[in-house]
Amino acid sequence: MAQIDWTALTVFIVLFGFITWLGFMAARWKRGDLDLLHEWGLGGRRFGTVITWFLVGGDLYTAYTFIAVPALAFGAGAVAFFAMPYTIISYPILFVVFPRLWNVAHKHGYITVGDFVRGRFSNRWLALAVTITGIVATMPYIALQLIGLQVVIAGMGVYGTGWVGDLPLIIAFVILAAFTYSSGLRAPAAIAIVKDVLIYITAFTAVVVIPIELGGYDKVFAAVPPAKLLLAVPAAGGWGSYGAYATLALGSAMALFLYPHSITGILSASSGHAVRRNAALLPAYSLMLGLLAIVGFMAIAAGVDKLPEFKIGFDAFKNNFAVPALFIHAFPSWFVGVAFAAVGIGALVPAAIMSIAAANLYTRNIYREFIRPDCSAAAEAQVAKWVSLVVKFGALVFIIFVPTQYAIFLQLLGGVWIIQTFPSVALGLYTRWFDDWALLLGWAVGTGLGTWMAVSVNFAAIYPVSIYGFNLPGYTALYTVVLNLVIAVVFTPIFRAIRGTAARLDETVPADYHA
């Protein structure tokens, strides 16, 4: 145990205590029967534009985002700014595609995307594939939230080996598990408001105060090595870093709202119009994301790798400790407590939504579909509550006993996996042309090949493709989902010819996709 910053820790604990109280009190907010899954797991679908904005924003802009984006700018430079075009591309997708999902889910009582795929394509195995993909892709995401929490706890001097180091993390997640169990999605929705206010205060204070201390933005950018200010110019015969940057942004945008926690936030909205309004308002978070990336450059200008504050967490967290070290160096202890509380709460909000989303998927599309089709509504909700605890416990065990790097590897794989549901979900919202077994085959090939490609390059996001001597390095997830789609297109007429032309049952009709 190092020297503890008691002022920062006290502020942190007070704010943490407040959101704990808020999480339990949220059960009384927008009252509903929490023994029903749509009330516990979707907040009764009653969140308006403002609450949905905080909920979806709190879901997507996590503690790990707050730590990792500036850390990437600090370590790798300009490539970190791919996060801005990626989110900007994703919001038109949200605006156009996902109100259709809300409309059809509302009309048929769908709670998960697995419900939609089951109803649309009448294939329980395709729905199971989408469900398992969602759960497996979400689990490492939950674990990554713990990294952000670990980093800020260590920054206040509370760290060590064994149970001494892990105890604060365990306490935080016991609290998380308790208020999520009791309040369901209402808890992270309420807490997200506090979290986002603190994040915005921290981000805007940082981009004003720290540059003043460093002598202005001109000195900040002058201190950044030229190689980190711009992407490397591609060599002849390839698109090099430009293609990697573009495909990473596009592929990430396609995958973002396929994650179960994103869909849970969308389906909790009160209407499809609320989803569209959020697509128009959420780019405000992209502004914040750009500011956070610039904080990474400020860390370079401040020379945090030479500061004693950086050495506290270097061995355990490496570049992820750059921003905490910068804040410790630049701000008084009380504001460090505020900033670190923002990050800590930013871990709990998405972790809660992710665990609820995974529980909804398991309960609706595995337990009810394959284990107990006749379970009551109350039993269904109870199973989801218990599964949410198991999911959080699994993530906690993973981060305590497995090296952090493996969680990052699995999260990168999660992006490759979740995008393979794009043809079934996003395209399925527009057409029933695809054969369900062709979609399942495309999913299997995309998932298997994407996993192999990622492992073969040591879990790097970019895979070096070369065609007739022309180098096309690009995001593995994007390349494999294109192959997935090609297989679905090619095999749809083949499977129809084999099985006959009889149409498979579709629970939905075109009018269901419109308000």
Residue 507 backbone phi and psi in degrees, to 5? -65, -20
Name the nearest CA neighbour of 326 among 342, 338, 308: 308
Tell me how far apart the alpha carbons of residues 40 and 32 are, in angstroms, rounded to a whole number: 8
Average pLDDT per run of 10 along the chain, which is 515 residues long?
79 91 86 88 90 83 76 83 84 93 96 96 95 93 79 75 68 86 91 88 90 91 87 69 86 92 93 92 82 87 73 57 84 91 86 93 96 93 94 83 77 92 96 94 97 92 82 90 97 88 79 89
Residues 478-492 as b/e (b if ≥16 CB within 10 A, e otherwise) read: bbbbeebbebbeebb
Q: Residue 403 and residue 9: Cα distance in Å, rounded? A: 26
Residue 62: φ, ψ to 5°: -100, 180
| pLDDT confidence of residue 1 | 45
Query: 6-513 falls under which CATH superfamily?
Result: Sodium/glucose cotransporter (1.20.1730.10)
Beta carbons of 15 and 345 less than 8 angstroms apart: yes
* Secondary structure class of 462 (helix, strand, coil): strand
| Inter-residue contact 341 to 349 (CB < 8 Å) | no
Residue 473 phi, psi (nearest 5): -65, 135
- Write the DSSP symbol of residue 318: G
Joined together, the tokens standing for residue 368 give 């009810």
Residue with tokens 């603190």: 198
Q: What is the pLDDT of residue 268?
A: 94
Cα distance between residue 149 and residue 172, in whole Å: 9
Do the beta carbons of residue 67 and residue 342 sit within 8 Å? no
CA distance 431 to 395: 37
Q: Are 259 and 141 in contact (CB under 8 A)?
A: yes
Domain boundaries, the chain: 6-513
CA–CA separation, 279 and 257 (whole Å)? 11
Q: Which helix (H) or strand (E) holds 283?
A: helix 283-302
Give the largest Cα separation in the chain, rounded. 73
The rounded Cα 385 to chain-centroid distance in angstroms is 21
* Angle value at C-alpha 9, between 332 and 285, nearest 5 degrees: 70
